[in-house]
Amino acid sequence: MTNTPSSPVAASAFTALAASLRGPLLLPGEPAYEEARTVWNGMIDRRPAAIARPLGTDDVRACVRFAGEHGLTLAVKGGGHNIAGLAMPEGGLVLDMSGLRGVEVDVERRIARVQAGALLGDVDAATQQHGLAATLGFVSQTGVAGLTLGGGFGYLSRRFGWSCDTCTAMDLVTADGGLVRASDESHPELLWGLRGGGGNFGVVTQFEFRLEAVGPEILGGPIAWRAEEAGPVLDLYRQLVAEAPPELTCVLILRKAPPAPWLPADVHGKPVVVAMVCWSGDLEEGERVVAPLRSCGTPAGSALQRRTYTSQQALLDPTQPKGRRYYWKSEYLPAVEADALAIAMEHLGRVTSPHSGIIFFPIGGAIETLPADHSAVGNRDARFVLNVTGAWEQPDGDEAGMAWARGAWSDLRRFSTGGTYVNFLTEEEGDERVRAAYGGNLGRLAALKRQWDPRNLFSSTKQVFAAPPLPG
């Protein structure tokens, strides 16, 4: 039986809204609504009052005005990948942007104009035709919008910065249904806030990214060792990433081996240490830089090779399918210390699910060369993002899976910079954690919120931006 939420808005009002839109308006009870309300994290089961699928900016403006008039929380589903399910507010109005995935590449100016429903893979497919790339994340199904608005990092961030740093302009529908462009020339303070401040100031309909020459061939892929061989591998890892040029991003993953074709069957399901390499510079130099990894101990398997940049961008996709139950705990780290890795290995030994893991993402490089207040995302002192990623299939795994992730996180927290990545915060994490994500930039963000969305129509970060700024 369909559990239809009771909406404070009269059915006739939705009928009138539907008639004014070019795209469909999906209501509870319709099969398309059931599909549209799903997000990547299978733990999220929320029922908005209605889900609109805009086919253009006018549809977006009509929905923003409607939400304002009827006091509905408005959220936007870009890729639907936010772990806390922020795109799907209970009883609210959702703008599902999946009908707007266009990417236009201006080769001469080296920019891409990207619509708000595009996934990372859409951008890579369009830009790589010209040997260009935008600085985005590690999984091709993730939404460009949420990732960029919260900061964004991936294989190219050490060369070019947070994704939002490389986003040069955003077109925005504001809380009153108006249209503005945020760029260095027009509303620069708004651009500052949108670069990391999340979807708190309006609905972005188009992003403009600076592109860089990357690929089409890079040197990348995973190389794995059995956990028993971890000692020398982890020592080498620490040394390699401390000295690495920005062209190298080497993600460290501690987990049980997935049944991947590049790993022998006898290692599947066993704890392993995986280095996920991406060298995006000169290939001969890259071979020299990664040679010590190839010759360290006896790898259980490797798919580290010259490959297309687009194939690199999709390598982690099979490990993150939509619909599993996911629970993350995350911190920024100033370094990867030997003690932290030893603790992480202990927790790997106790992991309860074959899909869970502990990941160390190197950042730093270009991110830390910009001034601390360059964009709202801040946290430029961080050199790594730690993510304890709990993942399992069924609700009966919730208790053990969450306890494992919390245990690993609470033992590793002491290595944190004190900051945390806003895009990795789970549903249960409250205002204190959002404050930790923004640190000293919070007062400036709260001022922007008062200017652009004083009624808090867009409440992505709960109440933190709407609250009075912190002293200092």
Ligand X SMILES: Cc1cc2nc3c(=O)[nH]c(=O)nc-3n(C[C@H](O)[C@H](O)[C@H](O)COP(=O)(O)OP(=O)(O)OC[C@H]3O[C@@H](n4cnc5c(N)ncnc54)[C@H](O)[C@@H]3O)c2cc1C
Residues that bind ligand X (CB under 6 A): 39-40, 75-83, 86-87, 116, 137-139, 142-143, 145-147, 149-154, 199, 203-204, 320, 423, 460
* Rounded Cα distance, 391 and 353, in Å: 7
Strand ranges (DSSP E) for 65-166? 74-77, 93-96, 103-106, 111-115, 132-133
Residue with Cβ nearer ligand X (93 or 227): 93
Minimal distance, residue 264 CB to ligand X, in Å: 26
When the beta carbons of 141 and 352 are compared against ligand X, the nearer one is 141
Of 82 and 375, nearer to ligand X (C-beta) is 82
Rounded-to-integer distance, Cα 468 and Cα 15, Å: 38
- The rounded Cα 173 to chain-centroid distance in angstroms is 22
**Sign of torsion, CA 181 185 187 189?**
positive
Cα separation, 275 vs 433, in Å, equals: 29
Residue (299 or 362) nearer to ligand X, CB: 362
Q: Which is nearer to ligand X, 152 or 362 (CB)?
A: 152
**Residue with smaller CB distance to ligand X, 80 or 215:** 80
Toward ligand X, which CB reaches closer, 138 or 392? 138
Rounded to whole angstroms, the Cα distance separating 332 from 94 reads: 31
β-sheet with 74-77: strand ranges across: 25-26, 50-52, 93-96, 74-77
**Minimal distance, residue 82 CB to ligand X, in Å:** 3
Cβ 343 to ligand X shortest distance, Å: 24
Which of the 8 DSSP states describes residue 163? G
Shortest CB 472 distance to ligand X, Å: 28
Residue closer to ligand X, measured from CB, 7 or 379: 379
| Shortest distance (Å) from residue 119 CB to ligand X | 8
Q: How far is CA 328 from CA 13, 234, 421, in A?
A: 39, 23, 11
Q: How far is the CB of 3 from ligand X (least distance, A)?
A: 22
> How far apart (Å, rounded) are the C-alpha atoms in residues 21 and 62?
7
Maximal CA-CA distance, the chain: 69
Residue 371 Cα distances to 3, 157, 313, 378, 410, angstroms: 50, 16, 29, 9, 31
- Taking the complex as a whole, how short is the minimal distance between the CB of residue 263 and ligand X, in angstroms? 20
CB of 235 to ligand X, least distance (A): 26
Residue 258: CB partners within 8 Å, gap ≥ 6?
268, 318, 319, 354
